[in-house]
A and B are shown apart, each in its own frame.
Chain A
Amino acid sequence: MKYFKLPDLGEGLQEAEIVQWHVKVGDNVKADQLLVSVETAKALVDIPAPHDGVVAKTFGKEGDILHVGEPLLGYEGEDADAGTVVGRLEGGGNAQADSFFVGAAPSTREHLAPRATPAVRQLARQMGVELAALAGSGPDGLVTRADVEQAAQSARDSFGGERLRGVRRSMAINMARSHAEVVPVTIFGDADLHRWPEARDPLIRLGKAISAACEVEPILNSWFDGRALSIRQHDKLDLGIAVDTPDGLFVPVLRNVGGRSAEDLKEGMSRLRADVKARSIPPQEMMGATITLSNFGTLFGRYANPVVVPPQVAIIGAGGIRDEVVAWQGKVEIHPVLPLSLTFDHRAVTGGEAARFLKALVQALEQP
């Protein structure tokens, strides 16, 4: 219903008495048509219709007193009854239909996120345990430290097998760490050993030749810190020599290779070998290598891409010496050939430096 209120009749008059209604409910009235006659303290006033419409209700009977602003007549229809509002109400809107869940949504009810303290979450990350898979044993399903440890243990148990220990365990950890950090590039080259009186057991000659190559490209004889991005060159060559044992890989260090005689080195090497074999080598004898040599050719194989172990930046692989057909001074000849692989960390060493190093190494080896 749309209201027409008793209008201000002027002269400060606040009320009026209804004298006669000229319309009734259901009448179709036109604008300015006479609706009602009222009497104020001063005069008889005819009140016209403000606009067209159908009368839905008349307020007050003849003789009743109405106040200014009170409803006088109601038109049919819904609009415009905003009430005696202070302010303005926005209407309508075509927002989405109002649909809701009482309480939580279904997905919330289904959601069972693991609850764990930050320390336990960290432990789970370290141990590779997925928290979501655990049923916490703490209050309200809190995942405890013991739950994580137990899950890690049962993951190991379910895989079975034998736990790595000692040297094999360190190998697994160190190789993975190296692989994750180093940017390795490998180049290959051959040394023609036909000038050697007897082309076998090249270890000491290799050590001396690496030392000579370090004179040409000393950057290969460096340690590199990938986090600080700093490089440190060494004056002396301390050569790590990979030694294969039934227990795993050992890398004792032959010190100051450039500054010692071949006999001295040979003696030092056999002492290291014996200590490794007896498992009596002190840990410090296996620390501080500046370049590593893997002489795997004494077992089998030609080329390889061995793993650079930080902070070193280079490792040399020596394959097996074999007689090969070579072109020598315009003729076909058979010479003993030593295949060489040089893997370097391309974060610290350029390809050019590595190539010059390998060339110097081969040249040193090809001397009589």
Chain B
Amino acid sequence: MSNLNATTEKRALLEAVNMALHRAMQEDENVVVLGEDVGINGGVFRATLGLRDRFGFKRVIDTPLAETMIGGLAVGMAAQGLKPVVEIQFLGFIYAAMEHLVSHASRIRCRTRGRLTCPLVLRSPMGAGIRAPEHHSESTEALFAHVPGLRVVIPSSPARAYGLLLAAIDDPDPVIFLEPTRLYRMNPQPIIDDGKRLPLDSCFTLREGSDITLVSWGASIHETLQAATRLEGQGVSAEVIDVASIKPLDLDTLEASVRKTGRCVIVHEAPRSCGVGAEIAASLYERVLLDLQAPIQRVTAPDIPPPLYRLEQLYIPSPEDILAACDLVLNYA
């Protein structure tokens, strides 16, 4: 991590986040980072490594273990002109900060008729698969997506983490930026630290195909791409779309793809009921019912808290689960 501006070195998602934070703080002195262990320690996963040394303790703030305070502090900073980037150490710790996110961050713009905005970014690792105990493994993107005024963004590759985090920090409204913990160190990619932003309101098509559309985001992209590769071996051309922006949804891209393929499977690691998959399926039915060759299927975690790690692999949707749903959709009629 010594040479953060190297352009050709392969970097994993975690390092891409670190790289984007360094650049954002360098570009704009109003960007501040706060959270538990983000300063001296560099964050429990090292996402904020080197920031305090480079930008000082006034801009990289170690907070007490008090998420309510972290949330309130960030809202106040954001409303008064700073651009706080908050780290909640694990997504399961965020509930104490919900009051500030739901009652203030999301609606300050409306409450003050545009006089104040709340340009905060709340980063947090999400998801299971790292053999962590309870409260460290949840995927609660749907909770935030339901709140008007919050953007929810989930990157699934180093490049998208870099480009989307920079765009999230630019954005004048609050962004919940959820980083799939399971992907933090996986599959490093060459990234160029060029400061280029990616759009916050767009899906990303990871794989072009014509027979079936696989829709996913976050860590499940990993299993979804594996399923797509195996489908290719069976002569099925699967299109894989990374939703990335959970709120607002880029429904135009999803609609166009499903109209092309006529078949759709949605994969997410969050529990099924009232998950974002349900929202996507409902929206697609509104738009593309007459183009569908089969009912849309969802592959999700069951409606239970993430189990302890011996059962974790049963909880996370597997490539086999995805292939079973594809099989149903492909052979429906």
Contact = CB atoms under 8 A, between A and B. Distances in A.
Given A83-B45, A84-B37, A101 B290 contact: no
Nearest to A114: B291
B204 A102 contact: yes
Nearest to A116: B290
A100 B160 contact: yes
A100 B242 contact: yes
Given A89-B181, A101-B208, A81 B290 contact: no
Contacts of B189: 97-98
Given A86-B132, A117-B290, A106 B44 contact: no
A109 interface: yes
A97 B225 CA distance: 12
A113 B45 contact: no
Given A95-B187, A98-B159, A115 B132 contact: no
A93 B187 contact: yes
B253 interface: yes
B133 interface: yes
A100 B204 contact: yes
Contacts of B42: 83
A92 B184 CA distance: 10
B110 interface: no
B12 A91 contact: yes
A108 B43 contact: no
B54 to A, nearest CB: 14
Contacts of B131: 87-88
A111 B129 CA distance: 38
A89 B130 CA distance: 5
Contacts of B137: 87
Contacts, number: 127
B118 interface: no
Nearest to A69: B41
Given A78-B1, A111-B256, A105 B208 contact: yes
Nearest to B206: A100
B100 interface: no
A82 B37 CA distance: 14
A283 interface: no
B130 A88 contact: yes
A175 interface: no
A243 B37 CA distance: 101
Given A89-B184, A111-B260, A95 B204 contact: no
A103 B12 CA distance: 23
Nearest to A118: B290
B257 A83 contact: no
Interface in B259-290: 259-260, 262, 290
Contacts of B158: 98
Contacts of B291: 113, 115
Nearest to B242: A100
Contacts of A109: 256
A274 B250 CA distance: 76
B45 A108 contact: no
Nearest to B189: A98
A90 interface: yes
A89 B185 contact: yes
B2 A1 contact: yes
B44 A113 contact: no
Interface string B235-263: 00001001000000010110011011010
B144 interface: no
B177 interface: no
Nearest to A81: B46
B157 interface: yes
B139 to A, nearest CB: 15
B117 interface: no
B186 interface: yes
Contacts of A89: 45, 130, 181-182, 184-185
B29 to A, nearest CB: 26
Nearest to A57: B53
A280 interface: no
Contacts of B188: 92-93
B260 A108 contact: yes
A221 to B, nearest CB: 43
Contact of B181 (A78, A87, A118): A87
Contact of A102 (B1, B12, B199): B199
A91 B262 CA distance: 36
B205 interface: yes
Given A89-B130, A95-B225, A115-B290, A104 B45 contact: no
Interface in B27-62: 37, 40-46
A59 B314 CA distance: 43
A85 B44 contact: yes
Interface string B194-232: 000011001111101010000000000010010000000
B136 interface: yes
B135 to A, nearest CB: 9
A329 interface: no
B216 to A, nearest CB: 13
9 contacts: A83-B45, A87-B132, A87-B137, A89-B130, A90-B130, A90-B186, A92-B187, A104-B253, A107-B210
Given A90-B130, A96-B225, A107-B210, 11 more contacts: A83-B42, A85-B130, A88-B130, A93-B188, A100-B204, A100-B242, A102-B204, A104-B205, A104-B256, A108-B256, A115-B291
